Amino acid sequence: MRKPIYILALIAIFLLGQDWSARAAEYIIVVHKDNPVQRLGIEEARNIFLGKQLRWPDNSSITLVMNTNDDIHEKFTRELLEKSPVQLSVYWKKILYSGSGILPLAVRDDEAAKSYVALHRHAISYIDKNSLDHQVKKVAIE
Amino acid sequence: MRIISCDLFKLLWVDGSIRTKVRACMLIALVGYFIATVSSFYSNSQQAARLASLQTIHFPLARLSEETLNIFRTQLSKYEDAFLTGEAEQVLQANKLSSQIMLLLMEMEEVAAGDPSFFFENALIDDLGERYEQFYRLAAEVYLDTQSIETSLEMQKTIQFLGNLQTGLLQDLIKLNQHLGQNVEQIIQKERQYAQLNTIFLGLLFLLVLLSATFISRCFANRQLIQPLGRIQQMVVDFARTRKISPPPPGSENDEINQLATSFWEMTQELEQTMVSRDYVDNIIKHMSSCLMVLSAELTLSKINDNTRELLGYGEEELLGEEISRFISADTAELFQSRGVERLARGQDVSNLEIGLLTKERREITVLFSASVMRNAEGQIDAVICVANNITERKKTEEVLRKIEIERALAKTAALAAIGELTSSIAHEMRNPLSSIKMNAKMIQRMVEGRDATVAELAEISSQQSLRLEKMLNDLLSYGKPLTLQISRTTTSALLNGALTAVRQEIVAKEVNIEVVDQTDQRSLLLDLELMTQALSNLILNAVQWSPAGETVKITARFIEEEYASRLLFEIRDKGPGINPEKIRRLFQPFFTTRQGGTGLGLATVRKIVEYHGGTVSAENLPEGGALFQLTIPPQMPAGPGDDQQIT
């Protein structure tokens, strides 16, 4: 009677130790295809999405597009920006309240994000890894 | 600097009394004090004005600014909460603060308007008021409904505009608050520095004023008081040292110091005319050939000259204060006491008293001592001025001369004695033949009387000539004998009476008047009365014989003071024809006569008697006519007074 319990416990431990990332949503940062930027440092990417860096290296104005798809948005804010989605929202409201900036453009899903980025040369957004296609260019994060 | 000093002195010259000068000194000090006080008052009032501005403008502005900033921060916090949380209540609470902020800004504007120097702050506060009014009106509206903020870009921009507006307001309020706070701090710091500088300035000013007042007072006092007093002091010193004194510069009649200097100068001028300078007197005393001694009323030495010191051989300190009797020799002490001290005690002067002084080596020096009494204003004896002349050498010389004179006299006496003896012998031998001739002549005269007149007359002449020859022989015998003086005490009047009695018959016969002037005060004499009467009567007889009838023979007797002693002088003046000047020298020689029938022994006998008494006899013609015979003898012979003695 005890053996089946051990077995179940071992299975549970096994299952808990598995890498579920492959299965969970995984974001990538995308820009317009013509954007020369190929890769960004983590800090650089973090500054861009927190409104602290406003221009590309060619001095063009950066247009932020926030993908509010729940899974991607949450993963993106927690992993890259190290904030919760609520905290990020309050962060941007404070920026807005202080008058130092306005809220970034928000889109509902990956497709909308890709479309907007594809249409705007200086835009940057994040989408699910699996949603990447020819419309946009992935930027590696180092 | 010198020109300034001169001008300052001229400015400070006060031509007035000492009281005026002292008041001027006090006025200078008071002016200095007044300047220091006014400066201190001005400095304090300026500081008070600045502190009043701090109290009424700077502090209120800083306080209001701080309060406005705090309330605005509270308001912003509430708007932010409302924006983040969507709580309308927070907006309402924030809106309530707007009126307070506006009132505070208005109050600040009103306070800042009170000081023109707050122009910049006033403009800033006005601008803040306008901007805040814009802000709170928009904020009160916008923050009430921000639900669509994430979807409405317009609202986001409005919020962003509000954010910029409030951020600008907040920054400007902070700057203004900091500016006003710093302003207050700067003013306080400035006031502290100013207070320190003021303290130093006032200290330096006080020191400067003190030094200036002291310098000016010193210059003033030096010129007005010290220099004039110094001039007087110099005048006194110069006067004491008998230097020439310059007259004081002309000054005001009110200046007591100048008056004092003028009076002193006038006094010195008067004194110079009336007084012999002390140096002059000292010089006289120093160069006196005699010994000068000044005695106190107690006859102690109080001042001596160098000659006295050298004569006695003592130091000045050994002599001063000592009684003079200590230095009188024992031999002359009694004389000094009787004719010196006692006379001085009676206030009488002492002159030419021959005494002996004892030197330090106990050697006796004979001096002629004279002294006179110096009295003070009350008539009391103040001092006795004594002069002593050393006559030791002179005494020695006199002694030698006296011995020579005695030897000469002895030789002469011996010669005269020899001649006298010879003459007496001859006269004695001639007496008997002469008596025989006289008797024979008388007999012849008696025999021829009445018979032969011629023979009788010749016999008469022979008889008279015999009598004359006999008298001459008697006189010769008398002159030739040595005299033996019978010294006795008598007076001048006795001497004169005796002499006049002896020649009374001749006086009556010649009808000549006799005038006797006796000025001897009946002083006692010691001499041979008989011989001296004979000598005096011879002189009177001579005068009577040469005087015309009716004329007066004047006889004067008086004492004369010679160098060392007094002598008795008889003067016999006649109105006769006088004496042949060529014969005056021989007048007292034996056998010399100018009178018909004279033997030539009368005046010689006078001289012999007088010389035996130590006297002299002389004759001279008077300018008015007639002859003067002078006879001097010591009033007392050297033999002891009181006792009759025989001197041969």
Higher pLDDT, B561 or A78: A78
What is the 3-state composition of chain A as percent helix, strand, coil, each rounded to the nearest 5? 40, 20, 35
Chain A residue numbers touching B163 (CB-CB < 8 A): 96-100
Which CATH fold topology does B281-390 show?
Beta-Lactamase (3.30.450)
How far are the Cα atoms of B288, B400, B499 from residue B611, in angstroms, in the given order? 38, 19, 18
Q: What is the distance in angstroms between the Cα of A47 and the nearest Cα belonging to chain B?
A: 20
Please list every residue in chain A whose beta carbon sits closer than 8 Å to the beta carbon of residue B149: 93, 96, 103
**In this structure, what token pair is assigned to residue B453?**
């007149």
Domain(s) of CATH 1.20.1420: residues in chain B: 31-208
For residue B5, the model assigns a pLDDT of 47
Token pair for residue A83?
Answer: 């904030």
Report d(CA B325, CA B638) in Å as an integer: 27
Q: Do residue A94 and residue B84 have CB atoms under 8 angstroms apart?
A: yes
Q: List CB contacts (< 8 A) between A99 and chain B.
A: 159-167
Highest mean pLDDT among A12-26, B248-262, B369-383, B632-646: B369-383
Structure tokens at B100: 């307070």
3-state secondary structure of B365: strand
List chain B residues with CB under 8 Å of A106: 150
The Cα of B76 is separated from the nearest Cα of chain A by a number of Å equal to 10
Residue of B308, B352, B347 whose CA lies nearest to B327: B308
Interface test with B, best of A98, A100, A105, A108 (most B CBs within 10 A): A98
Which positions in chain B touch A94 (Cβ < 8 Å)? Answer: 80, 84
Is residue B563 classed as helix, strand or coil in its secondary structure? coil
Q: Phi, psi (5° rounding) for residue B647?
A: -125, 125
Residue-averaged pLDDT of chain B: 84
Q: Which of B149, B156, B167 sits opposite A98 (nearest CB)?
A: B167
Residues in A closer than 8 angstroms to B162, CB to CB, are 97, 99
Give chain B's contact residues with A (Cβ, < 8 Å).
79-80, 83-84, 149-150, 153, 156-157, 159-167
CA distances from B497 to B492, B532, B536, B540, B636 (A): 8, 12, 10, 12, 19
Q: Return the CATH class of domain B393-482.
A: mainly alpha
Are B195 and B47 spatial neighbours (Cβ–Cβ below 8 Å)?
yes
The CATH 3.30.450.20 domain(s) of chain B lie at: 281-390
Over residues B506-538, the pLDDT tens digits come to: 999 989 999 999 998 888 888 999 999 999 999
Closest CA to B102 of B142, B64, B139: B64
Q: Do A102 and B156 touch (CB under 8 A)?
A: yes
Higher-confidence position of B182 and B472? B182
User: B31-208 sits in which CATH class?
Assistant: mainly alpha
- Among A97, A101, A106, whose Cβ lies nearest the Cβ of B80? A97
Contact call for B163 and A102, based on CB within 8 A: no
Q: B143 vs chain A: nearest CA distance in angstroms?
A: 10
Q: Where in chain B is the domain with CATH 1.10.287?
A: 393-482
Helix locations, B449-491, DSSP H? 453-480
Residue bearing the bigger pLDDT, B4 or B582: B582
- Find tokens 């063009």 and name the residue: A60
Q: Which amino acid, residue B301? A: L
CATH of B483-648, one of 3.10.290.10, 3.40.50.720, 3.90.660.10, 3.30.565.10: 3.30.565.10
- Asked if A94 lies within 8 A of B80 by C-beta distance, the reply is yes
Q: What is the DSSP letter of A135?
A: T
B149:A103 CB<8 A: yes
> Which tokens hold the place of B243?
């230097």
Task: Please answer yes or no on whether B149 and A97 come within 8 Å at the CB atom.
Answer: no
Q: Which residues contact B249 (CB under 8 A, 6 or more apart)?
A: B258
Please state, in angstroms and rounded to a whole number, the distance separating the CA atoms of residues B29 and B218: 11
Q: What is chain A's length?
A: 142
Whether the CA torsion A100, A105, A108, A111 is positive or negative: it is negative
Q: For the residues of B258-284, what is the DSSP string, one character each?
A: HHHHHHHHHHHHHHHHH---HHHHHHH
E-assigned strand segments in B157-295: 291-295
φ/ψ (deg, to 5) at B295: -105, 150
Maximum distance among all alpha carbons in chain B? 235
- R_g (Cα) of chain A, nearest Å: 19
Q: How far is CA A49 from CA A53, A55, A83, A96, B431, in A?
A: 8, 12, 12, 14, 206
Q: Quick check: B288 pLDDT over 70? A: yes
- Measured in angstroms, the CA of B182 and the nearest CA of chain A are apart by 27
Q: B545: Cβ–Cβ under 8 A, 6 or more apart, which residues?
A: B506, B510, B595
- CB-based contact B83 A93, cutoff 8 Å: yes
Chain A: nearest CA to B157, how far in angstroms?
7
pLDDT at residue B639, as a whole number: 46
pLDDT at B383: 87
pLDDT at B43 over 90: no
Per residue in B46-58, pLDDT tens?
A: 888 888 888 888 8
Q: ipTM value, please give it.
A: 0.72
Note whether B603 and B618 are within 8 A (CB): no
CB contact under 8 Å between B159 and A90, yes or no, is no
Question: What's the confidence (pLDDT) of residue B277?
Answer: 58
Per-residue pLDDT, B599 = 73
**Residue of chain B nearest A96, judged by CA positions:** B160
Model pLDDT, residue A3: 59
- pLDDT tens digits for B314-326? 888 888 889 888 8
Q: Which residues of chain B neighbour A90 with C-beta distances below 8 Å?
A: 84
The two beta strands, B525-528 and B485-490, are: antiparallel
Mean local confidence (pLDDT), B560-585: 86
CB contact at 8 A, B386 and B294 = yes
Q: Which residues of A touch B84 (CB under 8 A)?
A: 90, 93-94, 97
What local confidence, expressed as pLDDT, does residue B10 receive? 53
**Distance between CA B61 and CA B104 in Å, rounded?**
10
Domains detected in chain A: 25-141 (3.40.190.10)
Q: Which two tokens stand for residue B361?
A: 């080596």
DSSP code at position B638: S
Range in B442-451, B510-519, B533-542, B614-623 with the lowest mean pLDDT? B442-451
CA distance B129 to chain A (A): 20
Q: Determine the pLDDT at residue B225.
A: 79
In the DSSP assignment, the letter for residue B328 is: B
**Residues forming CATH 3.30.565.10 domain(s) in chain B:** 483-648
Is the pLDDT at A126 greater than 90? The verdict is yes
Token pair listed for B307:
């000659």
CB distance A90–B84 less than 8 Å? yes
Share of chain B above pLDDT 90, in %: 21
Say how many C-beta atoms besides its own lie within 10 A of residue B438's C-beta.
18
- Chain B residue numbers touching A101 (CB-CB < 8 A): 160
Tokens representing A74? 């949450």
Chain A: closest CA distance from residue B167 (Å): 7
